[in-house]
Amino acid sequence: MASKSMAQNNFKALVVWLILNGRTEEALALLSKNYRVNLPNLEVGLPKGRKIKAYGCYTAKNETISVRNSDVLMNPFVIIHEFYHHLRSKAVDRMHRGTEKNADKFASSFLQEYQEAVKNVQNIT
């Protein structure tokens, strides 16, 4: 990322890139700053009573994104999906908000921008 404006233009791509490279904490810091929300906690291991099938979940009460295992820390779709719940549950009542469909759409928009950025780089080189 050469300049500030370039980083801003590629914000979503950068977030995905960071997660793919295991820099998930940095990605969450960037997301929180961009959307002006608290930095969510991140933990490996799902809270008890969760469906084993889930890759991740968000607990609004303690603003924590939990992932099933450390592999999922590098899964941009899951991390961004759970961040969406964080984004939607901020403020007053700390309820879990935002539909699954919208969370998926939010995450997809990041992955799409990343894929486009990769394509552009391939066209240059």
Enumerate binding residues for Zn ion (CB under 5 A): 100, 103
**What is the C-alpha separation between 31 and 16, in angstroms, rounded?**
11
**What is the C-alpha separation between 25 and 47, in angstroms, rounded?**
20
Question: Which residues does 20 contact at the CB level (< 8 Å), separation at least 6?
Answer: 74, 76
Residue 83 or 114 having the CB closest to Zn ion = 83
Residue 100 or 116 having the CB closest to Zn ion = 100
Residue 80 or 103 having the CB closest to Zn ion = 103
Beta carbon of residue 125, minimum distance to Zn ion (angstroms, whole number): 37
Beta carbon of residue 85, minimum distance to Zn ion (angstroms, whole number): 6
Classify residue 36 by burial, with Cβ atoms within 10 Å: 0-12, 13-18, 19+: exposed
